[in-house]
Amino acid sequence: MGNFKNSLDDFCTFGKSVNNHPITAKDSGKSAEINLYGVIGGYTANLAQFKRDLDAAGKADNITICLNTIGGSFADGLPIHNLIKQHPAFITVKIMGYALSIGSVIMLAANRVECAENGLVMIHRAQGFTYGDAADHQKNAEILQKHEQAVIPAYARRLGKTEGQVLALLQEETWYTAKEAKAAGLVDAITNKADMDKAEETAGMQGEGLKLINAYRNRPATLIQRGHYS
């Protein structure tokens, strides 16, 4: 837990140097596109910037959010999810490579989810770090469980499973290929393959971001074989 927290904090602090891919909104009247790339809560992929981009989309009827993230902060990710959910436009999330951890929560708010043929989705239990005595750890465990309770219903609706079944999947840190995610109901359609070298860069999988991704315990063997993980 401590390694995960430290890695996340380090990345959010130094994200400017390792992920400078900008988030942009392009409004063409009835449609708009927003890029949400990088560690959620980092230098570019944060709540404040996303809110500005969503506002820049104006009154577009259709908004496409190009999502590519290895995960990040629940404190930014859940409000981003809610902004998407509450927006009157028809919103499509396109997974450009990765929708891991809190990224998979963000995508659940969309009206439609598309995933690159070689993309990956990952869901897991909320994680955090506590320093203190047994009471402090117990309190943090309760807080983490409340975080999970906030998002489990959304997973359950998408997956067509009970909340208990979803919790089991989160506990296992479940990874899905695009085909598996579609079969499970997490995504609606599969699109063309992504350039995964580029996707790894823009998802935040560099520098301190590597420490964050290495905290995930069930990384698929195909990813490890690519040589980007230690």
| Domains observed in the chain | 2-126+171-225 (3.90.226.10)
Q: What is the sign of the dihedral through the CA atoms of 19, 37, 210 and 144?
A: positive
Percentage of the residues of the chain whose pLDDT score is greater than 90: 48
CB within 8 A of 135, min separation 6: which ones? none
Burial 155-180 (b: 16+ CB within 10 A, else e): bbebbebeeeebbebbeebbbbbbee
Comparison of pLDDT for 143 and 122, the residue scoring more: 122
The token pair at 19 is 């992920």
Confidence of residue 124 (pLDDT cuts 50, 70, 90): confident
* pLDDT of 21: 41
Q: Which of 69-73, 145-149, 188-192 has the highest mean pLDDT?
A: 188-192
Q: What is the pLDDT of residue 49?
A: 93
For residues 195-225, one letter each, b for 16 or more C-beta atoms within 10 angstroms of the residue's C-beta and e for the rest, the string is: ebeebbbbbbbbebbbbbbebbeebeeebee
Q: Given a cut of 70, is residue 14 above it in pLDDT? A: no
Q: Please tell me the distance from the alpha carbon of residue 2 to that of residue 127, in angstroms, as a whole number.
A: 10
Confidence class of residue 96 from pLDDT cuts 50, 70 and 90? very high
As a whole number, mean pLDDT of residues 96-115 equals 96
**pLDDT band at residue 127 using 50, 70 and 90 as cut-offs:** low
Strand ranges for the chain from DSSP E: 25-27, 31-37, 62-69, 90-100, 112-116, 120-123, 174-177, 189-191
Q: Best-predicted range by mean pLDDT among 37-41, 165-169, 186-190, 192-196?
A: 186-190
Strand partners, 36: 67
Please give the model's pTM, rounded to 2 decimal places. 0.81
Using N-to-C axis directions, what is the helix angle for 74-86 and 134-159, rounded to 10°?
30
Burial of 20 (0-12, 13-18, 19+ CB in 10 A): exposed
Mean pLDDT of 34-54: 91
**What integer is the mean pLDDT of 154-182?**
92
Flag whether pLDDT at 1 surpasses 60: no
Of 184 and 27, which is predicted with more confidence?
184
* Per-residue pLDDT tens over the stretch 197-214: 888 888 888 766 677 777
Give residue 42's pLDDT: 85
